[in-house]
Amino acid sequence: MDAIQLIYLVPLLPLIGCLINGLARNALSKTLVGIIGSAVVFVSFCISVLIFIQVSKEGFVTQNIHYFDFIHVDKLVIPFEFQVDQLTSLFLLIITGVGFLIHVYSISYMKDETQSGFGRYFSYLNLFVFSMLILVLGGNYVIMYIGWEGVGLCSYLLIGFWFKDQANNDAGKKAFIMNRIGDVGFLLAVFWMISAFGTASYARLYNSENGIISSITAINSPAIVGITLLLFVGAIGKSAQIPLYTWLPDAMAGPTPVSALIHAATMVTAGIYMIARSNILYSLAPVTLAGVASIGLITAIVAAIIALKQNDIKKVLAYSTVSQLGYMFLGLGVGAYSAAVFHVMTHAFFKALLFLAAGSVIHAMSGEQDMTKMGGLGKKMKITYATFFIATLAIAGIPPFSGFFSKDEILSATFAQSPVLYVLALGGALLTAFYMFRALAMTFKGKFRGTAEQEHHIHESPATMTVPLVVLAILAAVGGFIGIPEVFVKNANKFDEFLSPVFAHSTAFMGMREVSHQTDLILIIVSSVLVIIVSVWAYNKFKNYAPSTVGADNAFVKAIKNKFYIDEAYYMLFVKPYRALGAFLNNIFDKKGIDGIVNGVGRSVNYGSRQLRLLQSGQVGSYLLLMVIGLLILFIIQLFTK
């Protein structure tokens, strides 16, 4: 059977799950809700596997499945279509696979919720999976935009899931508004694209034989630079890059599995997916690519620096996500599209694992997230500790764990572009190793620093939580082997080979610069050695962490602890003037201006009629007089108009 015929089921099933769990949340038991919520995603995952098998067969050509015309106005036709190619099938696997594990994990993690809240949670989670699948399946930018907005909505709903606490609502609103700023850019880009090329379909734009873009050879033409820049603004908002990244750390207000699924593994990678999807467009605009690379690099380093001094375990992971997303953008920016997508995949494994392990820790600590109050948990939570350890090795880029391969691919592509960028990126990678081992040591090593009651409560999480951890740990450990660099084994980079049709046109156009095998080997050895040194140093430094009471922080450390005061700066620069404008419009413009006009009209009619009323005196004589005067006026008009 042709698995691609079943592709509509992939997003449809989570939608059905969402409706069942959402509408019948008061009627279904928690167990049933959990089973339905996870099962629909699992079936989607199975279909995705079938699709993946078909896509990876020899001689597969990109398929477009047209369902109906979504918009049909005059010459503009925007069909509701799906496009299946290597990139799509890969993202399908990541979303449904990691999504399924996180659904299973959530069953235990959220068990203390009320029945209604539990149903609501799974309903949102399924809706999120549905939206994300629409985003990656869509065959044109408009369908992608539907998913793009859908995931933003679900993100808002899930960050503010515990809406009784105002801080969570504020975090949700912040995420939503910041995303909206980016979405405006995306939307404008789609409009521009339609007006410039008359279509938003990938098939018509990017087809290598007769695509519109393929016929363009001029680089940096204004329309393409404009479109790519605006699309990138959308990606900045969705993927939390400077300057719109501040929502992501706040998004940690949501339940931890949500942070793992949405704010680490899938949604935030939508921006990378979108740029990888538009790779031909970006290759035609090297100016934009340079912008993408610099924003990515700056974000990677700044977020890593902030992460150094965070004490909230989830905040560390959040800044680490921002930083890793920066690496992916750096990869895209230097034209290493498939390396960036590779990092998306490995990052999905190890970051989801880190978050879920952190969730397991938080669960054991009864909601405590402050690492200074943890310590020594490794002895009591062996599985969590082991999996967190593997994820840390992976994210730090220690060979042979998955993060090493993907990060190395990005780094060597960066070196080919410019050694200066490489040094900076390597610096960021060292920071990553440092803060991750700091988090690991502070949480799991040393002496317990919390209360005695908490210490008594610590326990390993149940199997529904640890099994996803173990599965993800295996993936995080061995996931990198599908992309082994050429240096070690010839033709072993199955990942690049698999994705190469998607990026074929760009690669041909840009003429990928590659470093020689010898240089690559040196780079790998240098970076691995440095990373291992930093990791061991950080681990030893924080192994027996004790909160120091002596010594005031110097100004730089203080700035880092306060996240460089960026939130405060945004508050001063945007929120306050905006509020002042709002107050002005409310108090002066609306109350005095608009209300004045409305009330003024009413008052003047009132006054005028009071005056006119005096004409009705009841004097028959005066009525007659007025009548005669009226007649005379009519006569005069008649006379003069003849």
Partner 1 sequence: MEIKWYIFLSLALFCIGIIGALTRRNSIIVFMCIELMLNSVNLLLVAFSKMHMAGMNAFSYSMASSAQIFVFFIMIVAAAEVSVGLAIIVLLYRNTRSIDINFLNRLKN
Contact positions vs partner 1 (CB under 8 A)? 616-621, 624-625, 628
Q: At 429, phi and psi to the nearest 5?
A: -65, -35
Q: CB of 352 within 8 A of CB of 265?
A: yes
Distance, in Å, from the CA atom of 252 to the CA atom of 355, rounded to the nearest integer, reads: 10
- Helices 86-109 and 30-55 pack at an angle, to 10 degrees, of 160
If the CB atoms of residues 585 and 633 are measured against partner 1, the closer one turns out to be 633
Q: CB of 213 within 8 A of CB of 281?
A: yes
If the CB atoms of residues 287 and 627 are measured against partner 1, the closer one turns out to be 627
**Considering the complex, what minimum distance in angstroms separates the CB of residue 639 from partner 1?**
15
**Considering the complex, what minimum distance in angstroms separates the CB of residue 626 from partner 1?**
10
If the CB atoms of residues 53 and 625 are measured against partner 1, the closer one turns out to be 625
**Considering the complex, what minimum distance in angstroms separates the CB of residue 616 from partner 1?**
6
Distance, in Å, from the CA atom of 406 to the CA atom of 395, rounded to the nearest integer, reads: 10
Exposed/middle/buried for residue 160 (C-beta within 10 Å: 0-12, 13-18, 19+) = buried
Q: What share of the chain is helix, strand, coil (3-state, %, to 5)?
A: 75, 5, 20
**Considering the complex, what minimum distance in angstroms separates the CB of residue 642 from partner 1?**
18
- Tokens for 187? 């939307």
If the CB atoms of residues 511 and 621 are measured against partner 1, the closer one turns out to be 621
Distance, in Å, from the CA atom of 349 to the CA atom of 196, rounded to the nearest integer, reads: 39
Q: CB of 244 within 8 A of CB of 271?
A: no
If the CB atoms of residues 367 and 621 are measured against partner 1, the closer one turns out to be 621
Nearest to 95 by CA among 132, 53, 135: 132
**Considering the complex, what minimum distance in angstroms separates the CB of residue 628 from partner 1?**
6
Q: CB of 332 within 8 A of CB of 232?
A: no
If the CB atoms of residues 71 and 631 are measured against partner 1, the closer one turns out to be 631
If the CB atoms of residues 73 and 620 are measured against partner 1, the closer one turns out to be 620
If the CB atoms of residues 27 and 631 are measured against partner 1, the closer one turns out to be 631
Cα distance between the two ends of the chain = 89
**Considering the complex, what minimum distance in angstroms separates the CB of residue 612 from partner 1?**
14
**Considering the complex, what minimum distance in angstroms separates the CB of residue 580 from partner 1?**
54
Q: CB of 374 within 8 A of CB of 440?
A: no
If the CB atoms of residues 550 and 614 are measured against partner 1, the closer one turns out to be 614
Q: Which residues pair with 84 in a beta bridge?
A: 63
Look at residue 73 and give its three-state secondary structure: strand
Which DSSP state fits 100? H
Q: How far out from the chain centre does Cα 535 lie?
A: 28
**Considering the complex, what minimum distance in angstroms separates the CB of residue 624 from partner 1?**
6
